[in-house]
Amino acid sequence: MLSKLCQRAFKKSIWVYHANSGGCNGCDIEVLNVLTPYYDVERFGIKLVGSPRHADVMLCQGPALRSTAKALERAYQAMPAPKLVFAIGSCACGGGIWYDSYSVIGPVDKVIPVDFYVPGCPPRPEAIVYGVAVALGLVDKKVAPVKLKQLEFPIARYHPEDLECKDDMVVYTKLDRI
Amino acid sequence: MPARNVLNQIKERFEPSILRVDVPSDNRLFLYVTPGVVRDICNHVFRDLDARYVVSIGIDDRPYSGQFTVAHNFGFEREKVLSSILVNLPADDPVIDSISPAVPAANWAEREFRDLLGIEPVGCPSMKRLVLPDGWPEGVHPLRKDFSWDLKPAKFDENKVFAFDDPPEGCVVVPFGPFHPTLDEPAHFRLYVEGEIVRGCEYRGFMVHRGIEKLADTVLTYNEIPMMAERICGICGCVHSVAYAQAVEQAAAIEPPARARFIRTIMLELERLHSHLLWVGLANHILGFDTLFMQSFRMREPIMWLCERITGNRKTYGLCVIGGVRWDITPEIKDDINRILDQLEKEWIAAAKAVQGDRNLQKRTKGVGIADAALVKDLGLIGPIARASGVPQDCRRDFPYAAYDQVDFQVITQAGCDVWSRVLVRVLEVFESIRIIRQCLEKMPAGPIQLQLDDELPPGRIGLSSIEAPRGEAHHFVVTGEENRPRRWRVRAPTYQNLQGIPAMIKDQQLADMTISLGSIDPCFSCTDRLEILDIKSGDVRVYSQQEIVNMTRRV
């Protein structure tokens, strides 16, 4: 549904703003790479811009850090709606290998809402191009969505409040509830 | 015994103050001295013996010896000796004489151990916060051993603002960053501009401080750290993992097999190739010469594919383990490397010609961002910046590591001291790297690529390792420890020193030249910050607050 919405909301060329909130630079240069001859995203009308005020899409790299969280939030607020946020790389998606360090808040979605995730450390340029293309509805997803359904039969549940001590043994007092 | 000679020279003047001496090899020297003479001895070493300042390290040694330790590292290039001057400080009152008045390059390192360990450098000319976020409570020092790596202090004040100095009279403040089109990474400069001329600046960086050193001495183990070391920086990751492994190997007296040392050399040089090509592209992009930006990225891409073929990943190679490497170079890959290098050399000759003959480029970069040899000495500037100022400084030759003692290469220098010379140095170094890789492939011996290590590494030993990264010398300091992890691991990335030169380089220059002056050091903030944020002003560097950054973002 979101990709259909994207096709309507982002009909024209999308302009991209990239914000590194504290990553190692690896994802940055892969993002730069997709702009250059071998991957050339300009054929899709995608262009990097210098200000969040001109951007439709923000690419976030690196975990959210205490020192940059506020600046990242301001950059997000400066983007005009409709806007999309991509988390590029393991750090932005899940916090990376320093997810619980004292100066790291965690994944970017703890600070700003994230719409799409492109994992990898760093993600290959192809992965970034593919992620953006899927999000914009330019190509179809190659993975079938998995739908989870509630099972119909009730699953027996363990009720610790029904446990009782009897002569060195622990027994259930209401066996029917198990 | 070059280390002995250095020791004797220091002993001539300071014999009574030297408590203990450790000379583990010909090119390493550890001196334990009394706290009172530290400034004099550093001044003597830095000025009279003409050593290069490397870094200062604070160590919380209280659980083991009941004391804090401060180490000042110096490199003696002529003697090829890396030395550490260590001082023990009492646990209840960790105060040390600042060496910054004598050695200006030590300013940041001293402020860093003040922030992170609470060791007070008395007499340091600037005491502003450097590393920790602005809202971080006073008196909480994350690198102390009683601080848990995942503790988020309750008193963190999100609204606290960094107190910038007042701008000089008649100047307008121009914020630069934290998110700026020519910066890949967050860093904030507050420029003081009079008309079009930059009169000074203040830097608040360390926005990429991720607490890496803390994680290493609390959570990870020896062989897990190279993985994280690679992620200090996405561009020169291999440098950090090799430097770390070498520091540990040196501390524990492990000699990796010859083939492993050659493979390390090859990967380091491949990394230098892709980094220099990236830099030439970006610098031209900053200057508006986008054709070359696209071309150099096109030439660079086969190297990325090659690295992927060798190691399985385009950037973070997962190469190093203690005592060797993980990936071998097979005969088929060897052919690939040769083929790609031939192609690159051919194309790069054309690109170098285009760069060298471009008048616009010369007009834009000649006389811009001047850093002369005196500044290089005082602020400890390194790598291509130093070499572009006529200082023939190169760790590959000065402190040979891996297989660099067995290959022949030139140290490229230029005398211009400006951005143009830095462009030339990097352009020409590409050819040297290609030569080094070819020699390595030729001379690489057969044999194992890893050592089987059966014993635990001995605790309490110190290892130093310097590596010539694409941006300059990366220096790692390791104290081995218990539980299969180091007690302390300190990384000094090249940008850490080079960034301190920026205020002097951009002073009294056009505002429009600021971006390329900054670009010319190839800044890598993630390396530098590991932990923090910074600011610059007219020669001295300071740290910034969140509110400031917020305000700046608004104005942008």
What are the tens digits of pLDDT across the range B117-127?
Answer: 989 998 888 88
Residues of A in contact with B297 (CB under 8 A): 32-33, 36-38
Phi and psi torsions of B482, nearest 5°: -90, 180
In a domain, B156, yes or no: no
- Which of B179, B297, B314 is nearest residue A71 as measured by Cβ atoms? B179
Higher per-residue pLDDT: B79 or B128:
B79
The number of helices, as runs of H, and strands, as runs of E, in chain A is 5, 9
Region of poorest pLDDT, from B244-248, B452-456, B522-526: B522-526
What pLDDT score does B424 carry? 92
In a domain, B230, yes or no: yes
- Which of A70, A103, A121 is nearest residue B209 as measured by Cβ atoms? A103
Q: Tally A–B CB contacts below 8 A.
A: 160
Q: Which one of B145, B147, B159, B209 would you mutate to disrupt binding with A, by most A Cβ within 10 Å of its Cβ?
A: B209
What pLDDT score does B505 carry? 85
What pLDDT score does B412 carry? 92
Region of poorest pLDDT, from B25-39, B322-336, B534-548: B534-548
Residues of A in contact with B547 (CB under 8 A): 70
Residues B216 and B137 in one domain: no
Beta-carbon separation of B524 and A96 below 8 A: no
pLDDT of B103 strictly over 80:
yes
Q: What is the extent of the structural domain holding B387?
A: 212-519
Residues of B in contact with A70 (CB under 8 A): 158, 546-547, 549-550
What is the reported pTM?
A: 0.87
B555 touching A, CB under 8 A? no
A37 touching B, CB under 8 A? yes
Phi and psi torsions of B191, nearest 5°: -95, 140
3-class DSSP assignment, residue B241: helix
Beta-carbon separation of A71 and B316 below 8 A: no
B32 touching A, CB under 8 A? no
Identify the H or E element spanning B56: strand B52-61
Q: Is the dihedral angle over the CA atoms B452, B457, B461, B464 positive or is it negative?
A: positive
A108 touching B, CB under 8 A? no
Residues B412 and B496 in one domain: yes
Confidence of residue B275 (pLDDT cuts 50, 70, 90): very high
In a domain, B534, yes or no: no
What pLDDT score does A157 carry? 58
ipTM: 0.81
pLDDT of B543 strictly over 60:
no
CA distance B338 to B317: 20
To the nearest whole Å, the CA of A171 is away from the closest chain B CA by 42
CATH code assigned at B345:
1.10.645.10
Q: Are A102 and B151 in contact (CB under 8 A)?
A: yes
Residues B299 and B387 in one domain: yes
Residue B95, strand partner residues: B120
Q: Are B433 and B273 in contact (CB under 8 A)?
A: yes
CATH code assigned at B90:
3.30.460.80
Beta-carbon separation of A26 and B235 below 8 A: yes
B180 touching A, CB under 8 A? yes
Low-confidence stretches of chain A (pLDDT beneath 70):
1-11, 145, 149-159, 172, 174-178
Residues of B in contact with A63 (CB under 8 A): 210
Higher per-residue pLDDT: B509 or B41:
B41
Q: Quote the mean pLDDT of chain B.
A: 85
What is the count of structural domains for chain B? 2
Closest residue on chain A to B212 (Cα): A98
Tokens of B312: 């399985």
Q: B20-27: long-range contacts at Cβ-Cβ below 8 A with a sequence spacing of 24 or more?
A: B24/B250, B24/B253, B25/B250, B26/B1, B26/B2, B26/B81, B27/B2, B27/B3, B27/B79, B27/B80, B27/B81, B27/B82, B27/B399
B204 touching A, CB under 8 A? no
Confidence of residue B539 (pLDDT cuts 50, 70, 90): very low
Last residue of a domain, one of B147, B174, B192: B147
In a domain, B525, yes or no: no
Beta-carbon separation of A70 and B158 below 8 A: yes
Instruction: Give mean pLDDT, residues B231-241.
Output: 88
Q: Are A95 and A110 in contact (CB under 8 A)?
A: no
- Nearest alpha-carbon partner for B411 in B384, B376, B372, B438: B384
Instruction: Give mean pLDDT, residues B280-290.
Output: 86
Beta-carbon separation of B294 and A51 below 8 A: no
Last residue of a domain, one of B103, B130, B147: B147
Residues B241 and B131 in one domain: no
CA distance A52 to A162: 59
Closest residue on chain A to B282 (Cα): A32
CA distance B1 to B496: 31
User: pLDDT for B25-47, tens place per residue?
Assistant: 888 999 999 998 999 999 999 99
What pLDDT score does A95 carry? 86
Residues B136 and B220 in one domain: no
What pLDDT score does B436 carry? 94
Q: Are B499 and B99 in contact (CB under 8 A)?
A: no
User: pLDDT for B466-479, tens place per residue?
Assistant: 999 998 899 999 99
Beta-carbon separation of A71 and B142 below 8 A: no
Beta-carbon separation of A36 and B181 below 8 A: no
What pLDDT score does B542 carry? 37
Residues B233 and B353 in one domain: yes
Residues B226 and B133 in one domain: no
What pLDDT score does A1 carry? 58
Q: Which one of A20, A67, A91, A111 would you mutate to disrupt binding with B, by most B Cβ within 10 Å of its Cβ?
A: A67
To the nearest whole Å, the CA of B385 is away from the closest chain A CA by 21
Instruction: Give mean pLDDT, residues B190-202.
Output: 80
Residues B380 and B463 in one domain: yes
- Which of B210, B232, B314 is nearest residue A103 as measured by Cβ atoms? B210
Region of poorest pLDDT, from A64-78, A120-134, B202-216, B227-241: B202-216
Beta-carbon separation of A102 and B180 below 8 A: no
DSSP state of B215: H
The half-sphere exposure of B440 on its side-chain side, counting CA atoms within 13 A, is 29
User: pLDDT for A49-74, tens place per residue?
Assistant: 888 888 888 999 889 888 888 888 88
Last residue of a domain, one of B129, B147, B165: B147
CA distance B250 to A55: 50
Residues B331 and B477 in one domain: yes
Confidence of residue B245 (pLDDT cuts 50, 70, 90): very high
In a domain, B342, yes or no: yes
In a domain, B503, yes or no: yes
Confidence of residue B527 (pLDDT cuts 50, 70, 90): low
Beta-carbon separation of B181 and A124 below 8 A: no
Residues B216 and B129 in one domain: no
| Alpha helical stretches, state H, B21-139 | 38-43, 62-65, 107-117
User: pLDDT for B363-409, tens place per residue?
Assistant: 888 888 888 888 888 888 889 999 999 989 899 999 998 899 999 99
Closest residue on chain B to A75 (Cα): B553
Q: Are A98 and B211 in contact (CB under 8 A)?
A: yes
Interface of A with B in 120-149 (CB under 8 A): 121-122, 124
A50 touching B, CB under 8 A? yes
Residues B117 and B242 in one domain: no
Beta-carbon separation of A96 and B231 below 8 A: yes
User: pLDDT for B135-189, tens place per residue?
Assistant: 888 888 888 888 888 888 877 777 777 777 777 777 778 777 677 665 666 777 7
In a domain, B395, yes or no: yes
Identify the H or E element spanning B283: helix B258-287
Interface of B with A in 59-98 (CB under 8 A): none
pLDDT of B344 strictly over 90:
yes
In a domain, B399, yes or no: yes
Residues B401 and B513 in one domain: yes
User: pLDDT for B253-272, tens place per residue?
Assistant: 899 999 999 999 999 999 99
